[in-house]
Amino acid sequence: MTTAINRLAAETSPYLQQHAHNPVAWQPWDEQALNAARAANKPILLSIGYSACHWCHVMAHESFEDEDVAAVMNRLFVTIKVDREERPDLDQIYQTAHQMLTQRAGGWPLTMFLTPDGTPFFGGTYFPKSPRYGLPGFAGLCEQVADAFEKRRTDIDAQNADLRRALADAVPPAPTFSGEFDARPLTLAGEQLMKSFDRINGGFGGAPKFPHPTDLAFLLGRRGEALREPALFTLARMAEGGIYDQLGGGFSRYSVDERWEIPHFEKMLYDNGPLLGLCADAWTQTGDPLFRRVAEETAEWVIREMQSTEGGYYSALDADSEGEEGKYYVWDRKEVRALISPEQWQVAAPHWGLESTPNFEGHWHLKVEQPLNESDRHLIAAARNTLFAVREKRIRPGRDDKVLTSWNALMIEGMAHAGRVLGHSDWIESAERALTFIQHTLWHDGTLLATFKDGRAHLNAYLDDHAFLLAALLEMMQARFRREDLDFATALAEALLDRFEDKENGGFFFTAHDHEALIHRPKTGHDNATPAGNGVAAFALQRLGHLLGEPRYLDAAERCLRLFWPQMSRSPAGFSSLLLALEEALTPPNIVILRGPSEELGEWQGQLGADPRRLVLALPKEIAGLPAALAKPESDHVNAWVCCGVTCLAPTASLAELRQILSNA
């Protein structure tokens, strides 16, 4: 393989840097590459992936590192490589286009062939070097695609016009609903989720099985036990399965089977943040020590392995180490038996499934197969510590150490919430450090940036960055109020309205008004692996609007809900983040403002506990310059004000009376 460096060497993305020494003449997505395709009237080969992706590595080793395959690619195409985590706008557009062209779900690596104007005319995901799995060999496929581009351009142009119309039709039309919202979509969503609920293993649907944290949050917030129980059951099965790292904490991205047993081993920041918060809430509802332990182990993993010394959280851990998927995590049974004591083995072997047949390529991946007796917990804890120490000496999976604003926001929110619920001030401090890093490094003169690595912050941020960060700030202010966080939250809210809102039709575009022109400008309310930016924006703007008494924020949230109301009414499954916003549009959250001496505020907060339908802000009396809605009178003792929507009760200086008021509410 040649050691010549292509244009990716100057990029910040670890994924792009992994391909900097390929013999493929890769270019980043920029004007230079796009102009080259237009000038030469040459098709573009667009490859989208991410650093922790196993099949991305496979295709790279098979094809992109092969001199002969690379020569074909370089001769026929302008080749562009994109990190889907840095450019979610491009990934969203071309995944949607792939689904329209092939009528199949996409994934990574995404391999798309574009005309010089950026419109895709053929695509797929992974392609092998030689024909197998019913797929053509990649070099031969490239020859066929280039031949079609040369000889069937009229047909391709007609198809491209149809595709662009279909993409435009994917944006919801101007809202026609002008009536009152009601709770029917909430009821229907619960019914639809229950139909797909796996009553044996937990989760929704079959293999491969993803966590769906936004759906779990929706169910966990229902008032009826019949809907909360599936969420609790799913979280417990995940916590006991192989998707959860039984030694080091943290969840893998998904399970390849329906039992949560064998994961696709990469660990992503974006779902561990919400799952951390959900485990804390599950512990609050049940008192089950399993949920508290999993929350503690996951938070410890994040602080230990995923937080930089500067404060920002890293993006992901690879599925592979030493070129093999899962090698870092799996065990030989004889090795485990030799490492731990006979007493520990007697408990660990049945508990972790080591007495069963190997479950991953001749090795054992640990999962909970049999429950523990309370008296045996100390033996498992000792065995876990021993195996973890040994595993720490292995060659680690690669770590994607770029800092993404949106994913950091999800972890900040999860860490702050779990720290508040479980009483871990160190988790709140971790969240504060990450938030301070984002504010000082990725926020400049009212403009938010999307990614940071190696001292360089760049790429204008997307809707998700703004919305998720606003939601995280609302959680941080409940965990530990800082005036600068409130100022940051209002600045972000203004940026959301100024740069992303569709003033005419409502809702928020994924890209800002001054973003580069692409073949499509998405505006979706559907949740994916992360919650929909429109849903989180509506939810957070509503909460901030109620908190500050700012009608512009409430009006923007209502316009967003009206835009997506027809979709939510017809088939609300997949719209859980918007449904949470709808729920608070119907019944605004209780807002509790505590004002008094700092030393007493913590006791009051602890006594109130955490309720997802409630915002509690503890404002030390020495804080000055608060907005009118929060500038409550100071005294030498704590006073509490409770509001719901535009209705506020008289203040109380009695904690017992406050608890009674909230209980009645």
Dump pLDDT digits (tens) for 560-604.
Answer: 999 999 999 999 999 999 999 999 999 999 999 999 998 899 889
Residue 639 contacts residue 633 (beta carbons within 8 Å): yes
Residues 632, 579 share a domain: no
Bond into 213 cis (ω within 30) = no
- Residue 97 and residue 106: Cα distance in Å, rounded? 9
pLDDT at 665: 74
Residue 467 contacts residue 553 (beta carbons within 8 Å): no
pLDDT at 559 over 60: yes
Pick from 265, 275, 276, 296: nearest CA to 381: 296
pLDDT category at 420 given cuts 50, 70, 90 is very high
pLDDT category at 478 given cuts 50, 70, 90 is very high
Q: Which helix (H) or strand (E) holds 169?
A: helix 153-169
- Work out the mean pLDDT of the chain and round it to a whole number: 96
Mean of the pLDDT values across residues 363-376? 96
Domain assignment present for residue 569? The answer is yes
Residues 91, 239 share a domain: no
- Residue 80 and residue 46: Cα distance in Å, rounded? 5
Domain assignment present for residue 13? The answer is yes
Mean of the pLDDT values across residues 540-565? 97
Pick from 366, 363, 334: nearest CA to 350: 366
Residues 351, 252 share a domain: no
Residues 45, 149 share a domain: yes
pLDDT at 421 over 50: yes
Helical axes 463-479 vs 405-422, angle rounded to 10°: 20
SS3 of residue 327 by DSSP = coil
pLDDT at 3 over 60: no
Q: Which parts of 549-597 fold into alpha helices (H)? A: 551-570, 576-586
Residues 6+ apart with CB under 8 A from 412: 273, 313, 431, 434, 435, 438, 469, 472, 475, 476
Residues 651, 530 share a domain: no
Residues 375, 312 share a domain: no
- Residue 58 and residue 53: Cα distance in Å, rounded? 9
pLDDT at 1: 41
Residue 640 contacts residue 650 (beta carbons within 8 Å): no
- Residue 231 and residue 236: Cα distance in Å, rounded? 9
pLDDT tens string 382-396: 999 999 999 999 999
Residues 14, 90 share a domain: yes
What CATH number should be reported for the domain holding residue 427? 1.50.10.10
Domain edge (last residue) among 169, 187, 220:
169
Domain edge (last residue) among 351, 373, 393:
393
pLDDT category at 4 given cuts 50, 70, 90 is low
Tokens coding 315: 């993006």
Mean of the pLDDT values across residues 418-435? 97
pLDDT tens string 300-325: 999 999 999 999 999 999 999 999 99
Residue 204, φ and ψ in degrees, nearest 5 = -130, 130
pLDDT tens string 450-471: 999 999 999 999 999 999 999 9
Residues 647, 516 share a domain: no
Domain assignment present for residue 113? The answer is yes
Domain edge (last residue) among 586, 609, 637:
586
Instruction: Domain count for the chain, please give it.
Output: 4
Residues 510, 620 share a domain: no
Residues 6+ apart with CB under 8 A from 164: 119, 519, 520
Residues 604, 476 share a domain: no
Domain limits for position 609? 590-664
Mean of the pLDDT values across residues 43-72? 96
Percentage of the chain with pLDDT > 90?
Answer: 93
pLDDT tens string 87-108: 999 999 999 999 999 999 999 9
Domain assignment present for residue 639? The answer is yes
Pick from 453, 325, 458, 332: nearest CA to 398: 325
pLDDT at 606 over 90: no
Terminal-residue alpha carbon distance, the chain? 68
Domain assignment present for residue 629? The answer is yes
pLDDT at 485 over 70: yes
Residue 374 contacts residue 438 (beta carbons within 8 Å): no
pLDDT tens string 217-250: 999 999 888 999 999 999 999 999 999 999 999 9
Burial class (CB in 10 A: 0-12, 13-18, 19+), 181: middle
Residues 572, 500 share a domain: yes
Pick from 476, 276, 401: nearest CA to 13: 401
In angstroms, how far is CA 293 from the centroid of its own chain?
22
- Give the DSSP letter of residue 612: T
Domain assignment present for residue 186? The answer is no
Tokens coding 371: 């429950």
What CATH number should be reported for the domain holding residue 83? 3.40.30.10
Mean of the pLDDT values across residues 146-150? 97
- Residue 661 and residue 659: Cα distance in Å, rounded? 5
pLDDT at 326: 95
Residues 596, 581 share a domain: no
Mean of the pLDDT values across residues 507-531? 97
Domain assignment present for residue 324? The answer is no
Domain assignment present for residue 224? The answer is yes
pLDDT at 607: 87
Count of all residues that appear for the chain in the document: 665
Determine how β-strand 447-453 pairs with β-strand 403-404. antiparallel
pLDDT at 2: 46
